């Protein structure tokens, strides 16, 4: 009889009910008193496009001693959508568990809207439950300052090439996942499958592109926060989906007399913002980031709940939504040249933050203060010893012994005190060779944008050098210029305490007790005292050169 009923619903023919009376298609005919069927539990709200989402129902007979040959069907406006189960229900047996993935009898996804679950059996009073299919999803995420305030920053890319176009990540939606300009819905692909979460943009030097243009509809950029901050994210919920027929459909909510709210596994949704509406907002405070400088790859998992108007408790909506995120933690507020124009001054450069994070991890240096930031930076920038194979971008000191010329400046503009950092990081676009001023400019710039304070140039000279290991060199030398002239007319390094301690990415000194002879023993110049037996002046040169701490009016 269930087969006849289903055919009648699909064809419009009149069917007879179990007692021989005519029955209107789509209407459950009344039956005399008999066993009562029921639901021990039933999903009320479902988004079958969430991960691991499935409606669940527990079926039972509420009449003692009864056994019924029953079936569970999904209907919409009285029309059969799918038969989910058929079999025997017995009053003395545990409830029968049945699931539904939100697809019709042909395997197509069902559109949003109101559906009815009908549990029926011959000679029984049927049981019904309402089920609303909705479409829940996030189309945009905006990073905001944490509750502590002023600790979130845009990040900066530069597009490699002749133009060197700088690009600051969006201030209003670091994450965006909507239809491309060619059309479609916010939450679904054109085949009605859910639009997948956008992967974190892995490039550290160029933004997300769509051909030659910036991708404005699908991107996921990293976020910069001061270490230990609690990121605050504003989520915007999408307002359109795609039906199984390829057309736009609404998201199926708000529901009459039914509220929906969001929860986040990794943080707290702010009170008053939790109710979900199409195009509406929710604000999430995540757990605090690590207390050191690093790259943090993580994700947020969102779950949804619903509650009837007079219901005391919230009930889960099956499934979840996970969105990957990437954070770079900074030592402190980035520092740029005051009043400098251009988006390159909007926040730390992604490539710089990634270099520092990588150096910290490779060298095993936890960056928790300026001293440890300086250590990881100097050792990582110079490379070659301590677990990093080469110097930054494979650069070399501009000396004949390394295939260079005469120690010229290539990337630092001495007339304006500005560093062409983008060209240095663009696979040394102005050549593989650098001199000490180039390295000083890169060091002050990169440390400052990671939050270091008062990093200034130190000018030394002239110098009669002892054994040194120059950046990019294979070992120590006593003949830097390959002509017996082993000295500098001047040398640039950096300091953060008026020259009491100095740091140098350009060369290592010899710490074997005989600094004027080969071989040498690697000596990092990380906050090395300027004076003293093991100080920079004593180990770097045999004379007593002048030292000047200079003001750096421009960083980039």
What digits encode the pLDDT tens for the residues 216-262? 999 999 999 999 999 999 999 999 999 999 999 999 999 999 999 99
Whole-Å CA distances, 233 to 68, 323, 384:
52, 12, 40
pLDDT in tens, 304-361: 999 998 888 999 999 999 999 999 999 999 999 888 888 889 999 999 999 999 999 9
Reply yes or no: is the peptide bond before residue 300 cis, omega within 30 of 0.
Answer: no
Cα four-point dihedral sign 36, 37, 40, 41 = negative
CA distance 193 to 197: 12
Query: How many separate domains does the chain show?
Result: 3
298 and 365 assigned to the same domain: no
Judgement on whether residues 414 and 289 belong to the same structural domain of the protein: no
Assess whether 163 and 270 both reside in one domain.
yes
**Residue at which a domain ends, from 133, 153, 171:** 133
Residues of the domain holding 475: 350-549
**Does any domain span residue 255?**
yes
Q: Which pLDDT score, from 0 to 100, does residue 31 have?
A: 46
Domain end position, chosen among 270, 297, 330: 330
Do 356 and 462 sit in the same domain of this protein? Answer: yes
Q: Are residues 124 and 234 in the same domain?
A: no
Q: Residue 166 domain-assigned?
A: yes
Q: Say if residue 310 is in the same domain as residue 197.
A: yes
Q: So what's the pLDDT on residue 19?
A: 30
What local confidence, expressed as pLDDT, does residue 32 receive? 52
Measured CA to CA, the distance from residue 305 to residue 326 in angstroms comes to: 27
Q: Are residues 96 and 163 in the same domain?
A: no
In Å, how far are 135, 159, 437 from 198, measured between CA atoms? 18, 21, 41
Cα separation, 293 vs 299, whole angstroms: 19
One DSSP character per residue, 372-424 reads HHHHHHHHHHH-SSSS--S-GGG-EESSGGGT--S---SSEETTTTEE-HHHH
Is there a domain that residue 151 lies in?
Answer: yes
In this structure, the answer to whether residues 373 and 487 fall within a common structural domain is yes
Same-domain pairing of 475 and 494: yes
CA-only gyration radius of the chain, Å: 34
In the prediction, which pLDDT does 554 show?
A: 58
- In a shared domain, residues 79 and 145: no
- End position of a domain, from candidates 133, 152, 178: 133
> Do 208 and 261 belong together in one domain?
yes
Place of tokens 């697809």: 103
Query: Is the domain of 109 the same as that of 59?
Result: yes
Within a domain: residue 335? Answer: no
Q: What is the CATH number of the domain that holds 24?
A: 2.60.40.10
Which regions of the chain are under pLDDT 70? 1-33, 159-164, 272-273, 553-556
Structure token pair of residue 320: 């979840």
């Amino acid at each position: 009889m269930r087969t006849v009923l289903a055919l009648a619903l699909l064809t419009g023919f009149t069917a007879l009910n179990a007692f021989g009376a005519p029955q209107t298609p789509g209407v459950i005919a009344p039956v005399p008193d008999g066993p009562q069927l029921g639901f021990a539990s039933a999903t009320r709200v479902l988004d079958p496009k969430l991960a691991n989402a499935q409606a669940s129902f527990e079926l039972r007979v509420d009449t003692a001693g009864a056994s019924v040959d029953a079936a569970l069907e999904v209907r919409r406006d009285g029309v059969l959508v799918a038969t989910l189960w058929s079999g025997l229900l017995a009053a003395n047996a545990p409830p029968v568990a049945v699931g539904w993935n939100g697809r019709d009898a042909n395997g197509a996804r069902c559109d949003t809207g109101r559906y009815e679950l009908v549990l029926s059996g011959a000679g029984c009073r049927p049981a019904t439950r309402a089920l609303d299919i909705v479409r829940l999803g996030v189309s945009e995420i905006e990073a905001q300052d944490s509750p502590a305030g002023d600790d979130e920053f845009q990040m900066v890319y530069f597009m490699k090439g002749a133009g060197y176009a700088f690009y600051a990540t969006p201030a209003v939606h670091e994450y965006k996942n909507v239809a491309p300009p060619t059309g479609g819905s916010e939450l679904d692909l054109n085949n009605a499958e859910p639009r997948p979460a956008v992967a974190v943009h892995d490039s550290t030097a160029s933004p997300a592109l769509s051909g030659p243009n910036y991708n404005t509809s699908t991107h996921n950029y990293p976020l910069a926060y001061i270490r230990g901050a609690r990121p605050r994210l504003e989520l915007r919920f999408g307002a359109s989906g795609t039906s199984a027929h390829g057309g736009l459909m609404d998201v199926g909510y708000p529901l009459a007399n039914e509220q929906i709210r969001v929860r986040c596994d990794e943080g707290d949704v702010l009170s008053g913002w939790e109710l979900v509406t199409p195009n509406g907002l929710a604000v999430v405070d995540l757990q605090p980031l690590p207390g050191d400088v690093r790259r943090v790859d993580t994700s947020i998992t969102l779950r949804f709940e619903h509650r009837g108007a007079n219901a005391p408790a919230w009930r889960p909506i099956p499934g979840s939504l996970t969105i990957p995120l990437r954070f770079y933690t900074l030592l402190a507020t980035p520092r740029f040249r005051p009043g400098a124009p251009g988006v390159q001054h909007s926040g730390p450069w992604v490539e710089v933050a990634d270099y520092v994070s990588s150096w910290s991890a490779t060298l095993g240096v936890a960056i928790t203060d300026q001293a440890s930031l300086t250590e990881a930076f100097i050792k990582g920038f110079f490379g070659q010893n301590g677990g990093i194979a080469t110097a930054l971008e494979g650069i070399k000191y501009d000396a004949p012994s390394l295939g260079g010329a005469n120690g010229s400046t290539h990337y630092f503009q001495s007339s304006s005190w500005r560093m062409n950092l983008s060209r240095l990081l663009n696979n040394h676009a102005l050549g593989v060779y650098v001199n000490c001023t180039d390295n000083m400019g890169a060091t002050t710039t990169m440390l400052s944008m990671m939050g270091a304070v008062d990093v200034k140039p130190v000018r030394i000279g002239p110098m009669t050098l002892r054994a040194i290991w120059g950046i990019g060199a294979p070992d120590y030398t006593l003949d830097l210029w390959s002509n017996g002239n082993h000295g500098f007319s001047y040398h640039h390094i950096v300091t953060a305490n008026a020259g009491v301690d100095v740091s140098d990415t350009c060369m290592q000194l010899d710490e074997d007790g005989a600094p004027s002879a080969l071989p040498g023993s690697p000596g990092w110049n990380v906050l090395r005292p300027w004076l003293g037996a093991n100080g920079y002046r004593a180990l770097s040169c045999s004379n007593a050169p002048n030292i000047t701490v200079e003001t750096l009016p421009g960083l980039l």
